Every structure is written in structure tokens, then in C-alpha cells.
């Protein structure tokens, strides 16, 4: 299982393949319509639990369930913070470890989410789809009145938090999807996803030496590209934070504590790449980012849940993380 509770589909001699079929429903503002992203799930697709259903933007109606341990969920937590949606969309925080069934609310008193009344996120999935056939993943948007899951489509969730909830953003919220950079940003984000966000998993869950080495080379080609790109610009797209930075940051935050050793991405550490390390600290120290990172939960998750990679379940004490607060020199 990956950290979001989806099957890894690793076969001997093959590379890791992520299941990207998610519940395609959307939460849209009045007057909005479905965009081309929904072409991934044509009407009647066997990969979708049902045809796309549109839900209305409504403050207080939805609960974002997002574990801090998970990089994909961490994105949604950051975007919610940056846009000032904390009082508009409530949040449920599962603990860092889970079994094959589901993430659990073991951080809450009595092990029960105080809003949904559930012990497991699985209960919200089954409340809507009693025979839900796929992994119980985070992040997930849950409809509080019915306690049923709405969507777990992680890239669409953060996209819609920006575009569909604009009427509820704080006045000085950042423009995470600038129109003039959109085309280039989409290309940058696609490369980051395939080669870095997913690239570390391609190394960690490789089914053969050959698959591992191919994934390793792809990852470091992309990391070197990012190091060069960030040498002469503060953020990925220039002088302002965008969605692209959010998507890269959650992988960088986990790199030295987890991916370097646990996933064998060990050519060098993040702290040994001057531009990327300064950039990561710059974001970490920006309100909305660093407070979402819990290194103890992150390490507990990967080293305990991935029993095929770390059968002992021993969690490493290091590395030292104090330097995340050191001067980054990029302002």
C-alpha cells in the first residue's frame, strides 16, 4: 500500500504504477460548469464509481479530511490555509498510520472525528458507495449533512479550492493560478508530478533493480532541472507563490527524513542542493506552509505503514530538522 492507502501494483520486474482513478465529483460555484479535466471519466466509464455529480459551494457544508503525513493531502491543507478557508471548510486530521482498511481518527478524543462521528474515513466512503472498490484515500471532501464522501480527486480538490471558492477567499489570498503563466505552469506541474512527486515512489516501490535504477535516474534528472530553475528565481514561476510551489514543497519536505533513505533516493540530500534547499526553507517559513508539516507524523507513517520496505517498523531518530528555521537568503 502507498501512504494514501491505494495499491502499489508493483510486479516483479516492473516499475511502480499509481492508480489515478478517483471519485470525479466536483464542488462548483453557482454558474460554473464542468471543465475538460472531467474528460478523464466519460459517461459510463467503468473506472468511475458513477457519472460526475456537481455539488454546490456552501460554507460550512464540507469537511476536508487530510492526514498531515500524506504529501497529497498536505497540498490541500496548505491551499486551504493560503486562501483563508479555515472558517469555511472544516478539517479532520487522521493519524499518521493506517491498516489495509482505512485511515483512522486516532488523534481525536475517543478515536472519533468530532464532526462526522466516524472512527474511520472508510465509513464516509461507504456512506455514499457501500461497495466502494478502491483504496480509501486522503484528501477527501466529505458532505457533513449526509456524512458521505464527495470526492477524493486530490489535484482537482486544490484546483477547485482556488477557482470555485473565490468568493470566500481572504482579501489578500495569493493568485495560485495566474492566467498569464497557466500554460507554462501546467507543464511544470506535470513534470514535477511524474518525475518528482511520483518519482520518489517509482524508486521506493520498484519491482526490480532495473526498474529502480531507471526511476532513480529519472528522479535526479528532474531534481537537477529544478535546482537549475530555482537558481535565478525565487519561486518556480517567478516572484510569487503558485500552485506549482505547493505541489513541489510537500515532496521536498519529506525528502531527507524519508525519501533519501526509505525510498533509496540517495544520490544526495536536499540539504546538499543549495537552490532547492534554500527554496524549501523559504516556503517552510512562509505562513500557510511550515505549520502543516509534522515530521514525527511523516516518519511514523512511512516507516510503520510500509512493512514491505521497512519490515522492522523501526522509525529513525534523525535527521536533525532545526535548520528548516535557518535563514534562507532568498527574499
In the chain (331 residues long), the average pLDDT of successive 10-residue segments reads 47 76 96 62 41 95 98 98 98 96 97 98 98 96 98 98 98 98 98 98 96 97 98 98 98 98 98 98 98 98 96 97 96 85
Give the pLDDT of residue 214. 97
277 is in an annotated binding site: no
DSSP letter (8 states) at residue 262:
T
Nearest to 246 by CA among 77, 84, 25: 77
Rg (CA), the chain: 19
The three cell numbers locating residue 278? 534554500
| Given the residues 22, 62, 125, 201, the one annotated as active site | 201
| Given the residues 22, 62, 70, 302, the one annotated as active site | 70
Provide the H-helix boundaries in 5-121.
71-83
Would you tell me how many other CB atoms lie within 10 Å of the CB of residue 178? Answer: 14
Is the domain covering 180-302 a CATH 1.20.1050.10 domain?
A: yes
The three cell numbers locating residue 215? 526511476
The three cell numbers locating residue 314? 523501526
In whole angstroms, give the CA distance from residue 133 to residue 49: 8
DSSP letter (8 states) at residue 41:
S
CATH homologous superfamily, domain 26-168:
Glutaredoxin (3.40.30.10)
Would you tell me how many other CB atoms lie within 10 Å of the CB of residue 234? Answer: 17
* Residue 203 Cα distances to 154, 260, 272, 325, angstroms: 22, 10, 20, 29
CA of residue 197 relative to chain centroid, distance = 9
* Residue 235 bridge partners (DSSP): 238
Q: Tell me, yes or no, if 203 is annotated catalytic.
A: no
∠ CA 97-103-108, nearest 5°, is: 85
- Model confidence, pTM: 0.93
Give the pLDDT of residue 128. 98
* Contact yes or no for 48/41 (Cβ under 8 A): yes
Give the pLDDT of residue 13. 65
17: exposed, middle or buried (Cβ count in 10 Å: 0-12, 13-18, 19+): middle
Q: Where are the domains of the chain?
A: 26-168, 180-302
In whole angstroms, give the CA distance from residue 257 to residue 193: 20
Residue labelled with grid coordinates 517552510: 284
Give the pLDDT of residue 197. 98
Provide the H-helix boundaries in the chain.
71-83, 122-128, 154-163, 182-192, 199-204, 209-229, 243-254, 274-284, 295-305
Q: Tell me, yes or no, if 265 is annotated catalytic.
A: no
Give the pLDDT of residue 268. 97
Find the helix or strand (DSSP H, E) in which 56 lies.
strand 54-56
Amino acid at each position: 500500500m502507498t501512504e494514501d492507502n491505494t495499491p502499489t501494483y508493483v510486479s516483479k520486474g516492473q516499475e511502480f504504477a499509481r492508480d489515478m482513478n478517483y471519485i470525479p465529483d466536483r464542488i462548483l460555484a453557482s454558474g460554473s460548469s464542468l471543465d475538460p479535466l472531467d474528460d478523464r471519466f466519460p459517461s459510463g466509464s467503468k473506472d468511475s464509481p458513477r457519472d460526475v455529480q456537481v455539488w454546490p459551494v456552501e460554507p460550512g457544508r464540507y469537511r476536508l479530511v487530510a492526514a498531515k503525513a500524506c504529501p497529497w493531502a498536505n497540498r490541500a491543507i496548505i491551499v486551504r490555509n493560503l486562501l483563508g478557508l479555515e472558517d469555511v471548510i472544516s478539517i479532520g486530521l487522521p493519524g499518521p498510520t493506517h491498516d489495509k482498511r482505512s485511515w483512522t481518527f486516532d488523534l481525536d478524543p475517543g478515536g472519533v472525528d468530532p464532526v462526522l462521528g466516524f472512527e474511520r474515513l472508510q465509513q464516509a466512503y461507504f456512506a455514499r458507495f457501500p461497495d466502494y472498490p478502491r483504496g480509501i484515500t486522503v484528501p477527501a471532501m466529505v458532505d457533513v449533512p449526509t456524512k458521505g464522501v464527495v470526492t477524493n480527486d486530490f489535484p482537482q480538490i486544490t484546483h477547485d479550492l482556488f477557482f470555485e471558492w473565490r468568493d470566500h477567499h481572504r482579501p489578500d489570498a495569493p493568485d495560485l493560478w495566474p492566467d498569464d503563466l497557466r500554460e507554462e505552469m501546467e507543464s511544470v506541474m506535470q513534470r514535477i508530478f511524474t518525475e518528482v512527486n511520483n518519482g520518489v515512489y517509482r524508486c521506493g516501490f520498484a519491482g526490480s533493480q532495473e526498474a529502480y535504477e531507471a526511476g532513480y535516474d529519472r528522479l535526479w534528472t528532474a531534481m537537477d532541472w529544478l535546482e537549475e530553475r530555482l537558481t535565478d528565481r525565487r519561486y518556480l514561476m517567478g516572484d510569487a507563490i503558485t500552485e506549482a510551489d505547493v505541489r513541489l514543497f510537500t515532496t521536498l519536505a519529506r525528502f531527507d527524513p524519508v525519501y533519501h533513505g526509505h525510498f533509496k533516493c540517495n544520490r544526495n540530500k536536499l540539504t546538499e542542493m543549495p537552490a532547492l534547499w534554500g527554496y524549501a526553507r523559504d516556503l517552510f517559513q512562509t505562513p500557510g506552509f511550515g505549520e502543516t508539516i509534522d515530521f514525527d507524523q511523516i516518519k511514523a507513517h512511512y516507516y510503520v505503514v510500509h512493512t514491505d520496505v521497512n519490515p522492522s517498523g523501526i522509525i529513525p531518530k534523525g535527521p536533525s530538522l532545526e535548520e528548516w528555521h535557518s535563514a534562507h537568503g532568498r527574499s
